[in-house]
Amino acid sequence: MKSISLYKDKGTWLNLMHPYTKLLYIVAAISIPLIGGKLWLFGVLIAASLVLLASGKVLRSAVPLVAFSATLIIVIFLIQGLFNHANAEALFSVGPLTFYKEGVLFACRLGLNILNMLLSFAVFVLTTSPQELVDEMEKNGFSPKFGYIINSVFQILPQMMMTKDTITDAQRSRGLETEGSLGVRMKAFIPLISPVVMSSLVNTRERAIALEVRGFGRKNKKTWLEDRPKHKGDRVIGVILVLLVVLTIAGRVLGWL
Amino acid sequence: MAKIFKTKLTAATIVLIPACIGINYLGKLFASLLKLPLWLDSIGTCIGACLGGPIIGGLCGAVNNIVFGLTTGDNITLIYALTSLGIGIAVGIMARCGFMKSFPKAMLTAVVGGTAAVCISTPLNIMFWGGTTGNVWGDALFAITQAKGMSVGMGSFLDELVVDVPDKLLTLIIVYLILKGLPQKLTSLYDVNAEIERLD
């Protein structure tokens, strides 16, 4: 069964790091350029994320994530470069289209922000197992019921994917057309989705009974199956990240940046 | 009025949330498989809202976006957790007020849900992407409004409106059909007004 999570255990130091430290990195990486307000800060943070990804041996897995956002960034460049209201100074022209400096600069800022966010999230997403994050949150008092909700999404989805494949094959073998004009494709949507949805909703009843029987609603203190070893660097890195954010705020207030 | 938000947090409702998140994912998957120009990623949220009420609906929406944002790396979704939350709550309130009982009423629910989505998404779109949404039709319209000199806010609002309202209409049609077909032994699990009779 294929999992939807992109996490792979490569045994690197990023895998061993505490999920909270990585979350703190996301916060720092996104907030520093936004607080600092300078374009080069985006560059520094994007480079930092790329170095981290490379050291965690997950640089290649991050490529599809960036490719996914490429269309959005291109659309932003086209629309802002051509039609931004502040446009005054022409930068270059392609055929009849003229790109303006102000719009392109604005688009650069948005595009770099998107890239920076994507890459810093990639550092977290590609190296942290969702199960681990939920476990750690539960240890800090997060409700086990909500923990179950999040964990069970990862169990239910592969099952639903299998049901979906079965039903798509079954409907096709009965002659349902899934390719062609927009009208044909629209019509195919309901016969494809409704059996899967129905069966998964009907399954929830059995799941609920199974959970109740195993004492899901009990209020006793829960124990954990795995104990995670503490990583020495967590505290040091955390302090450095917080210091960097504070430094940026100070820099902005005192006017160095 | 208090009954609108009444929520039972039993095992049945807890299990409903992941199932709804799965349904959201399926809707999005089929929409991209069939190359439909809509998202259709809130079918599960709407089902959750209709069965469990506004609180469960909102939870379905928010958890959905948080889970996918933090696992599939598509962190653009993460920001729209607010939108999903709004859709879940709006549809849940409408459903509890009886607006899912007949087909025309369900369409009204769709318009309300769509409008809620537009109102929450528009500021987010402007803040993060300068007004675009990433949907081909909506962004083409946005480009036209910007070329005509309309304000960014208005253009982005229209951009979102032409995508979200048809999207929610189709979503609620599907939800209505599915809810009609659910067996009563399942729907009775989520009925807040149900009373248990004791025979002793």
Burial of residue B95 (CB within 10 Å: 0-12, 13-18, 19+) is buried
Tally of CA atoms within 13 A in the half-sphere of A149 that contains its CB? 24
Query: Does the structure show a pLDDT above 80 at A222?
Result: no
Q: Is A19 on the interface with B (CB under 8 A)?
A: no
Residue ranges per domain, chain B?
12-186
- β-partners of residue A98 are A93
Q: For B71, which of A130, A208, A216 is closest by C-beta distance?
A: A130
Does B18 contact A192 at a Cβ distance shorter than 8 Å?
A: no
Query: Does the structure show a pLDDT above 90 at B57?
Result: yes
Q: Is A86 on the interface with B (CB under 8 A)?
A: no
DSSP B35-57: T-SS----HHHHHHHHHH-HHHH
Residue A2: pLDDT band by 50, 70, 90 thresholds? low
Query: Does the structure show a pLDDT above 80 at B200?
Result: no
> What is the percent of chain B where pLDDT is above 70?
98
Residue A7: pLDDT band by 50, 70, 90 thresholds? confident
Q: What is the pLDDT of residues A25-47, one digit of tens each?
A: 999 999 999 888 888 899 999 99
Does B18 contact A156 at a Cβ distance shorter than 8 Å?
A: yes
Does A125 contact B72 at a Cβ distance shorter than 8 Å?
A: yes
Q: Can you give the pLDDT at residue A231?
A: 72
Report chain B residues whose CB lies below 8 A from the CB of A122.
73
CATH topology for B12-186 is Arp2/3 complex 21 kDa subunit ARPC3 (1.10.1760)
Of residues A145 and A217, more confidence is placed in A145
Length of chain A: 257
- β-partners of residue A94 are A97
Q: Name the closest residue on chain B to residue A128, using Cα atoms.
A: B71
Query: Does the structure show a pLDDT above 60 at A1?
Result: no
> What is the percent of chain A where pLDDT is above 70?
98
Tell me the pLDDT of chain B averaged across its residues.
Answer: 88
Tell me the pLDDT of chain A averaged across its residues.
Answer: 87
Does B43 contact A197 at a Cβ distance shorter than 8 Å?
A: yes
Q: Name the closest residue on chain A to residue B35, using Cα atoms.
A: A185
Q: Can you give the pLDDT at residue A130?
A: 87
Q: Can you give the pLDDT at residue B34?
A: 82
Distance CA B183, CA B41 (A): 24
Q: Can you give the pLDDT at residue B120?
A: 94
Please state the rounded mean pLDDT for residues B81-104. Answer: 93
Please state the rounded mean pLDDT for residues A55-79. Answer: 85
Does B130 contact A148 at a Cβ distance shorter than 8 Å?
A: no
Record the tokens describing residue A217, joined without a space.
């609603």
Q: Is A152 on the interface with B (CB under 8 A)?
A: yes
Does A82 contact B16 at a Cβ distance shorter than 8 Å?
A: no
The residue behind tokens 């599939």 is B72
Q: Can you give the pLDDT at residue A66?
A: 85
Does A201 contact B21 at a Cβ distance shorter than 8 Å?
A: no
Asked if B153 contacts B28 with a C-beta cutoff of 8 angstroms, the reply is no
Q: Name the closest residue on chain B to residue A130, using Cα atoms.
A: B71
Model's pTM, two decimal places?
0.86
- β-partners of residue A97 are A94
Q: Name the closest residue on chain B to residue A215, using Cα atoms.
A: B11
Dihedral through CA A149, CA B98, CA B180, CA B182, nearest 10? 40
The residue behind tokens 């790396």 is B73
Please state the rounded mean pLDDT for residues B103-110. Answer: 94
Please state the rounded mean pLDDT for residues B162-168. Answer: 90
Query: Does the structure show a pLDDT above 60 at A14?
Result: yes
Please state the rounded mean pLDDT for residues B7-23. Answer: 89
In total, the C-beta contacts within 8 angstroms joining chain A to chain B are 187
Record the tokens describing residue A107, joined without a space.
């688009």
Does A200 contact B19 at a Cβ distance shorter than 8 Å?
A: yes
- Closest residue by Cα to residue B16 from B80, B63, B77, B83: B63
**Which A positions 21-50 lie with beta carbon below 8 A of chain B?**
none
Query: Does the structure show a pLDDT above 90 at A92?
Result: no
**What does each C-alpha distance from A247 to A4, A40, A252, A255, B149 come to in angstroms?**
38, 16, 9, 12, 41
Of residues B98 and A94, more confidence is placed in B98
Residue A52: pLDDT band by 50, 70, 90 thresholds? very high
Does A79 contact B146 at a Cβ distance shorter than 8 Å?
A: yes
Q: What is the pLDDT of residues B27-49, one digit of tens each?
A: 988 888 888 888 888 999 999 99
Distance CA B92, CA B38 (A): 22
Asked if B159 contacts B131 with a C-beta cutoff of 8 angstroms, the reply is yes
Q: Can you give the pLDDT at residue A178?
A: 82
Q: Can you give the pLDDT at residue A244?
A: 92
Q: Using H for helix, E for strand and C for coil, what is the string for chain A?
A: CCCCCCCCCCCCHHHHCCHHHHHHHHHHHHHHHHHHCCHHHHHHHHHHHHHHHHHCCCHHHHHHHHHHHHHHHHHHHHHHHHHCCCCCCEEEEECCEEEEHHHHHHHHHHHHHHHHHHHHHHHHHCCCCHHHHHHHHHHCCCCHHHHHHHHHHHHHHHHHHHHHHHHHHHHHHCCCCCCCCHHHHHHHHHHHHHHHHHHHHHHHHHHHHHHHHCCCCCCCCCCCCCCCCCCCHHHHHHHHHHHHHHHHHHHHHHCCC
**Which A positions 179-208 lie with beta carbon below 8 A of chain B?**
182, 185-186, 188-190, 192-194, 196-198, 200-205, 207-208
Please state the rounded mean pLDDT for residues B158-172. Answer: 90
Report chain B residues whose CB lies below 8 A from the CB of A203.
19
Query: Does the structure show a pLDDT above 80 at B73?
Result: no
- β-partners of residue A90 are A100
